[in-house]
């Protein structure tokens, strides 16, 4: 077992949350697994190396089961260490087999390659309509005018939610998905109530879309999803689904417009747009850290033993994708790079079922945007981008551009 000392990341303050890369690089140089004190929630195990992250993501000894966590962590997350589950209930990101297998089986049918490919023309249609609505004055916020409405429109159509109050929903998920040292109890409860109302509507008016199928679905024993499971699934699919895709699109646009030589290459060779999406996922992926895991029993990761008893484990996807032992010159944005093996969508049984859809939306959005506006440029200094400081998302609120 490797001896591990405590690293107090609180000394970096908000800088660690806003731009973690320099601090993660320093940690990687001294090892792939660390015991740290995080700015927002105290002590945890943090995994920063690529091979260690990949091993941890697939380690059966690291559970997603909320009940195995320490009372301190449960109290921090839900305000009640005796709670059976978080406010939204258990979804795929918070369960292990066999529950995870049962829930995932209900969802993957909506994200088959054939279904995703069939969505291509509809995604293009939505994208073109959004570009047509860009202001005539040549100034636009590419998050609010393109990335957000495209991602929320597509996920609503896939799931089958027609009457979503999108602005309010985005406000709630923005707070809840990427919490920053603040009381989120009010938006969390409002979002919970709103999701319950959507479920009640589907129950009253049955449909054959994904959401309707989940409401009607039965498991192998004939039992239906519980109300909390339905709420949790709605939160994971609608909330996490649109936030991550919106962020991927926004980050890709920023990366291209901040690197003129890469932008020129992508404009001259349309096939490189696929590479742009993959390099964005590696270089500035939407998710900084995988959702929590817990060591119910001792688990060894790359020579370091994480003790049991519910030890909290945070896997830094951002750090893994910037590990120079896996990707040479990892801090350089290079759309010609071989990005195979990046962990932006996770690894193992929890690999994101919506990965293909997110990739497709990103490619269509970028191709359409670059072909429509040949003189598109940032209307802000990249150094002035206001990155959100939460622990989960690598995202910003707005991206001013001119054309």
Domain CATH code at residue 261: 1.10.630.10
Spatial distance between the Cα atoms of 233 and 92, rounded to a whole number of angstroms: 7
Across the range 229-250, mean pLDDT stands at 88
Helix ranges restricted to H, 33-140: 50-58, 71-78, 99-108, 113-118, 120-132
Across the range 103-115, mean pLDDT stands at 83
Structure-token match 């939306």, residue found: 361
> Strand pairing partners for 63?
294
Give a yes or no: residue 149 inside a domain: yes
Highest mean pLDDT among 139-148, 157-166, 202-211: 139-148
Give a yes or no: residue 318 inside a domain: yes
What number of residues does the chain have?
403
Give a yes or no: residue 1 inside a domain: no
Give a yes or no: residue 262 inside a domain: yes
For residue 199, give the nearest of 210, 211, 187, 190 by alpha carbon. Answer: 211
Spatial distance between the Cα atoms of 332 and 214, rounded to a whole number of angstroms: 43
For residue 149, give the nearest of 174, 127, 172 by alpha carbon. Answer: 127
Across the range 20-36, mean pLDDT stands at 94
Give a yes or no: residue 337 inside a domain: yes
Query: For residue 338, what are the CA distances in angstroms to 319, 328, 341, 366?
Result: 17, 10, 9, 20
Confidence band for 1, pLDDT divided at 50, 70 and 90: very low
Per-residue pLDDT, 234: 85
The maximal CA–CA distance of the chain, rounded, in angstroms, is 63
Beta pairing class for 42-47 and 33-38? antiparallel
Per-residue pLDDT, 333: 98
Per-residue pLDDT, 28: 95
Residue 260 has pLDDT above 70, yes or no: yes
Confidence band for 3, pLDDT divided at 50, 70 and 90: very low
Confidence band for 39, pLDDT divided at 50, 70 and 90: confident
Per-residue pLDDT, 157: 87
Residue 179 has pLDDT above 50, yes or no: yes
Per-residue pLDDT, 351: 93
Give a yes or no: residue 164 inside a domain: yes
Per-residue pLDDT, 387: 92
Give a yes or no: residue 32 inside a domain: yes
Burial group, residue 394, by CB count within 10 angstroms (0-12, 13-18, 19+): buried
Secondary structure letter of residue 60 according to DSSP: T
Secondary structure letter of residue 236 according to DSSP: I
Secondary structure letter of residue 47 according to DSSP: E
* % the chain with pLDDT above 70: 92
H or E stretch covering 46: strand 42-47
Give a yes or no: residue 392 inside a domain: yes
| Contact indicator for 263, 227 with CB cutoff of 8 Å | no
Spatial distance between the Cα atoms of 283 and 334, rounded to a whole number of angstroms: 9
Per-residue pLDDT, 44: 92
Residue 102 has pLDDT above 60, yes or no: yes
pTM of the model: 0.91
Q: What is the CA radius of gyration of the chain?
A: 21
For residue 336, give the nearest of 276, 284, 283, 280 by alpha carbon. Answer: 276
Spatial distance between the Cα atoms of 233 and 216, rounded to a whole number of angstroms: 13
Per-residue pLDDT, 180: 67
More confident: 1 or 116: 116
For residue 320, give the nearest of 71, 24, 12 by alpha carbon. Answer: 24
Across the range 290-317, mean pLDDT stands at 94
Per-residue pLDDT, 2: 42
Per-residue pLDDT, 80: 57
| Contact indicator for 34, 54 with CB cutoff of 8 Å | no
Residue 369 has pLDDT above 70, yes or no: yes
Residue 138, both tokens? 């040549």
For residue 34, give the nearest of 22, 50, 45 by alpha carbon. Answer: 45
Across the range 222-230, mean pLDDT stands at 73
Angle formed by the axes of helices 260-268 and 355-372, nearest 10°? 90
Query: For residue 68, what are the CA distances in angstroms to 7, 45, 63, 96?
Result: 24, 15, 8, 11
Across the range 335-347, mean pLDDT stands at 96
Secondary structure of 254-320 in the HEC alphabet?
HHHHHCHHHHHHHHHCCCHHHHHHHHHHHHHCCECECCCEEECCCEEECCEEECCCCEEEEEEHHHH
Q: Cβ of 321: how many Cβ atoms within 10 Å?
A: 23
Per-residue pLDDT, 92: 82
Query: For residue 99, what are the CA distances in angstroms to 63, 172, 342?
Result: 12, 27, 27
Across the range 334-349, mean pLDDT stands at 96
Number of domains composing the chain: 1
Please write the tens of the pLDDT for every residue from 54-100: 999 999 999 998 788 887 777 766 555 555 556 566 778 888 998 88
| Contact indicator for 178, 388 with CB cutoff of 8 Å | yes
Residue 203 has pLDDT above 70, yes or no: yes
Per-residue pLDDT, 181: 65
Please write the tens of the pLDDT for every residue from 304-334: 999 999 999 999 999 999 999 999 999 999 9
Domain around 360? 6-402
């Amino acid at each position: 077992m490797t001896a591990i000392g405590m690293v107090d990341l609180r000394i970096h303050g908000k800088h660690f949350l806003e731009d973690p890369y320099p601090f993660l690089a320093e940690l990687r140089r001294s090892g792939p697994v660390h015991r740290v004190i995080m700015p927002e929630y105290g002590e945890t195990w943090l995994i920063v190396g690529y091979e260690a992250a990949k091993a941890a993501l697939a380690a059966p000894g690291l559970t997603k089961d909320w009940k195995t966590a320490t009372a301190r962590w449960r109290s921090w997350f839900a305000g009640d260490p005796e709670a059976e589950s978080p406010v939204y209930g258990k979804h795929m990101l918070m369960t292990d087999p066999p529950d995870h297998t049962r829930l995932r089986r209900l969802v993957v049918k909506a994200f088959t390659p054939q279904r995703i490919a069939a969505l291509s023309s509809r995604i293009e249609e939505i994208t073109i309509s959004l570009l047509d609505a860009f202001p005539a004055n040549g100034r636009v916020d590419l998050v609010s005018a393109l990335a957000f409405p495209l991602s929320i429109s597509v996920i609503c159509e896939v799931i089958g939610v027609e009457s979503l109050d999108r602005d309010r929903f985005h406000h709630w998920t923005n707070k809840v998905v990427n919490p920053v040292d603040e009381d989120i109890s009010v938006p969390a409860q409002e979002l919970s109530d709103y999701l319950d109302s959507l479920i009640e509507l589907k129950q009253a008016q049955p449909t054959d879309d994904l959401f309707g199928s989940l409401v009607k679905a039965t498991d192998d024993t004939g039992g239906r999803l519980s109300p909390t499971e339905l709420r949790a699934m709605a939160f994971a699919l609608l909330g996490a689904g649109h936030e991550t895709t919106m962020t991927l699109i926004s980050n890709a646009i920023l990366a291209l417009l901040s690197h003129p030589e890469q932008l020129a290459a992508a404009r001259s060779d349309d096939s490189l747009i696929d590479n742009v999406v993959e390099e964005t996922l590696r270089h500035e992926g939407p998710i900084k850290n995988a959702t929590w895991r817990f060591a119910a029993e001792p688990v060894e990761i790359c020579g370091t033993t994480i003790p049991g008893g519910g030890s909290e484990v945070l896997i830094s996807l951002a750090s893994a994708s910037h590990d120079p032992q896996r990707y040479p010159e990892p801090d350089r944005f290079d759309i010609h790079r071989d990005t195979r093996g990046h962990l932006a969508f996770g690894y193992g049984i929890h690999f994101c079922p919506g990965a293909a859809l997110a990739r497709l939306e990103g490619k269509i959005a970028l191709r359409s945007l670059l072909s429509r506006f040949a003189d598109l440029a940032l209307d802000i200094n990249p150094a002035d981008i206001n990155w959100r400081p939460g622990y989960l998302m690598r995202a910003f609120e707005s991206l001013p551009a001119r054309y």
